[in-house]
Amino acid sequence: MTVASHYDGSASSYGEQYDPEKLWTNTAYPSNLFRLQLVQRLLAEAGSSSVYELGVGDATPLVTVAADGLRVAGNDVSPEMVKVARANMAAHGLDPELISLLDVQDPNGIQAERDRAGEFDSVMALGVIPHVADDAAFVTSMDAFLRPGGQLLLQFRNSMFSMFTFNRLTKEFVLDELLVGVDATIRDAVAADLDARLAVDKPPKRTRPTGDGYDEILSRFHNPFELADVVRAHGYSDIRFHWYNYHPAYPMLADRIDPLAYRQAQVALEHEGTWRGMFLCSAGIIEATKDAS
């Protein structure tokens, strides 16, 4: 199944994760609400007057920053998401045709969209790069919409968080990232030891009867340092990490803690802004400035 089909199935309820009134009642932690707050702050601090988004979802982020006075436009690969996004734009007095149906991995489509939409002060992609096969090509697509000196905001799933999860993600990180190139006999010994020490049966994979659950489609983690190198190689500088979706305990302990107390502890950590986020957060945003030359 495809990324588009996964988000087609999520389109009707996608906006609920941004609803502050459901902060304490939604079963799923509303990490995207805190991501949106972070994006609003970063756009304001950069003094942006326009932003293009690759992968708009239901367009709540664009509608929100448009209310802050920014010119907006964007695209999405999911036909159902585009339908919902256009309705959301129209409901807020914005032109629904500012949202395009587009696969960001199609360079010809990106060029045509750039010709149509123009150049922007900022470009952002929230929840998209986990689903693309070529990181460098994707940053090239983002770069196409950004003026020299402009601001890039690139969200990613944080592989460093696995050092705090003590589950199969930790094992995968140790074997696939830390021990690359190490002799197979040593790696096998480490794998066997980790099987005894870690909860390698967790977390459960997110699946759907339709076969397009989040963990059934391409949904990669990224090492923040390696991803920053990709961005830097495209002519960006002043690279900074911003963290969100905090975990006050490793996730498999969450069901042993009062749910309200756990949620309160998560919310209290959001926007704390220190190095701890690299390990306590399952997601982050790279902010970078496009070189003026």
Tell me the sheet residues that pair with 99.
74
Same domain? For 84 and 131 the reply is yes
pLDDT for 134 equals 97
Residues 133 and 195 in one domain: no
Number of domains in the chain: 2
152 and 218 belong to one structural domain: yes
Structural tokens at position 122: 């900022």
pLDDT of residue 212: 86
Q: Please indicate, yes or no, whether residues 9 and 126 belong to a single structural domain of this protein.
A: yes
Do both 68 and 17 map to the same domain?
yes
CA pair distance 81, 266, nearest whole angstrom: 29
Same-domain check for residues 173 and 39: no
What CATH number should be reported for the domain holding residue 51? 3.40.50.150
User: Are 154 and 256 contained in the same domain?
Assistant: yes
Per the CB < 8 A criterion, the answer to whether 205 and 216 are in contact is: yes
Give the model confidence (pLDDT) of 60-73 as tens digits. 999 999 999 999 99
Task: Say if residue 87 is in the same domain as residue 220.
Answer: yes
pLDDT digits (tens, 9 = 90+) for 163-205: 999 999 999 999 999 999 999 999 999 999 999 999 999 998 8
Residues 6+ apart with CB under 8 A from 198: 166, 167, 168, 170, 171
Model confidence at 262: pLDDT above 90: yes
Q: Is 172 strand, coil or helix?
A: helix
> Is 1's pLDDT higher than 80?
no
What is the reported pTM? 0.96
14 and 140 assigned to the same domain: yes
Residues spanned by the domain of 223: 3-158+209-290
Same domain, 10 and 46: yes
| Structure tokens belonging to residue 181 | 């190139």
Give residue 210's pLDDT: 87
Residue that terminates a domain, selected from 178, 202, 226: 202
Same domain, 8 and 79: yes
The model's pLDDT over 148-163, given as tens digits with 9 standing for 90+, comes to: 999 999 999 999 999 9
Residues 117 and 26 in one domain: yes
